[in-house]
Chains A and B, each alone.
Chain A
Amino acid sequence: MNAPDRYERFVVPEGVKKVSYERDTKIINAATFTIEREDHTVGNILRMQLHQDPNVLFAGYKLPHPLQYKIIVRVSFLCPLVHAIEIHTTSQSSPTQAYNQAINDLDKELDCLKSAFEMLVMFVGGDGEVYKQLLIQAQGTMLVPVQSWKNQRLSVCLGYGLWLTSEL
């Protein structure tokens, strides 16, 4: 009777912000982001992407409780006191900028993955004839289909170091 609606798991209630952030009062250049109605899917990729950023000292996320449908991401930046000189000479960034940059980078990676995958489907979807034609067309371009020893798998490299292999 009093069971919450199933959609409460992924629909942000009215009047609640999807993302909010709070600066740490004790540690300089650290912030906590609270993302409503998200889970490990977004939390983990964000955390790993933030780890790629050389300016990020710490990045972690937690799902406080399985029935609280939110995640908390904590980002701590290299302290400007330690890197005072670099901060003044290189571009200044903050946890919020790092956070958005991580999302932009992930977005780019997914764009690239999408085009590589579309290419793959084009190659292997349909019959082998399409594949053979494309193989000829692809010669001399940056797209290098590699046939493995079995002659049944196809790898496509499409820049950004992304590789896809599929069975024909």
Chain B
Amino acid sequence: MSIKETCHCGSVEFTLQNDPMMHFACHCSDCQKLWGNSFFGYAYSTDDISITGEVKKYSFEGGSGNQLHFVFCPECGSKIHSQPDLIEGMIYVPCGMLKEHYEYEPKVEIFSANKASCFAQLKATAESYEHNGTIERISELLENLEQR
């Protein structure tokens, strides 16, 4: 199966193959600044996405010392996805982009100590980490990969 979606203004179009590998939330300060609040979204393989239309990329060094790349529409500013060098081969797509296709149920949340108090109890969150939860998330992704 594949999903076709666009940014807010429609100048960027992207398709996603397969279902998300993981629903997760990140409450780090970088996400809060860049996404506007905590990141709520999905992990996909870089192979799963293909984009048409002009995008811009903003890169910076994250807390782990690895680069993080944000891909967005230069027209309307919608963020299509982010891509961490920390976990190679993955992209993160915000759940708002795929509202029509999935019910967002974050199983994992990371940097939980930094979240706004109104998110105190996230529905369905089973694993909550105060750190970056990278090892845990990769294990999860590997499990998901097996089922593909």
Check if A and B associate.
no
Residues of A within 8 A of B (CB): none
